[in-house]
Amino acid sequence: MSLKERITEDMKAAMRAKEMDRLGTIRLLTAAMKQKEVDERIELDDTAVVGIVDKLIKQRKDSIDAFQKAGRQDLADKEAAEVTVLQAYLPARLSAEEVAAAVKAIVAALGASGPGDMGKVMGAAKQQLAGKAEMAQVSAAVKAALG
């Protein structure tokens, strides 16, 4: 079963169980997926769906920070609950050591040296590690490897 099908089945299960918060989050995810399909006229594969989930989680985390700074813990809690639901659709994340090792392998394969090659290394790392690690973590590992 593809990730997209699993999300659809989870949406149906949430409807049956009357889990309105979970249902709302899954509907938000399906709307983002549909929007991407319509905009680009493509059929999403699992990698693209993971990218969308990553993007939505990043948006939620930014919102949580903003709400906490504004003293709106109620809204921050709602966003945190959405992050929990969305994280169920992500594959297992790589540890910091695994990310660093993968980045070192990419740097060696590309023959990169110095900060000037960061864009080239990040492009390759993004293709290889998309959905497996947070890009902020990958970027830090690339800086460390090239620095």
Together in a domain, 74 and 133:
no
pLDDT of residue 40: 95
Together in a domain, 48 and 117:
no
- Whole-model pTM: value is 0.79
The domain total for the chain is 2
Together in a domain, 8 and 31:
yes
pLDDT of residue 117: 85
Together in a domain, 79 and 101:
no
End-of-domain residue from the set 42, 69, 87: 87
End-of-domain residue from the set 38, 65, 87: 87
Q: What is the CATH number of the domain that holds 19?
A: 1.10.1510.10
End-of-domain residue from the set 68, 87, 106: 87
The per-residue pLDDT for range 105-129, each reduced to its tens digit, is: 998 888 887 788 888 889 888 888 8
Domain that holds residue 118: 96-146
The per-residue pLDDT for range 125-134, each reduced to its tens digit, is: 888 887 788 8
Together in a domain, 70 and 110:
no
Together in a domain, 59 and 35:
yes
The per-residue pLDDT for range 5-20, each reduced to its tens digit, is: 999 999 999 999 999 9
Together in a domain, 73 and 130:
no
pLDDT of residue 130: 77
The two structure tokens encoding residue 123:
């492009």
Question: Rounded distance, CA 42 to CA 76, Å?
Answer: 34
pLDDT for 93 beyond 90? no
Rounded to an integer, the average pLDDT of 85-103 is 90
Residue 68 banded pLDDT, cuts 50, 70, 90:
very high
**Taking Cα atoms as reference points, which of 50, 4, 58 lies closest to residue 30?**
4
Q: What is the DSSP string of 76-142?
A: HHHHHHHHHHHHTTSPPPPPHHHHHHHHHHHHHHHT--SGGGHHHHHHHHHHHHTTTS-HHHHHHHH
Rounded to an integer, the average pLDDT of 73-77 is 96
Residue 26 banded pLDDT, cuts 50, 70, 90:
very high
pLDDT of residue 96: 87
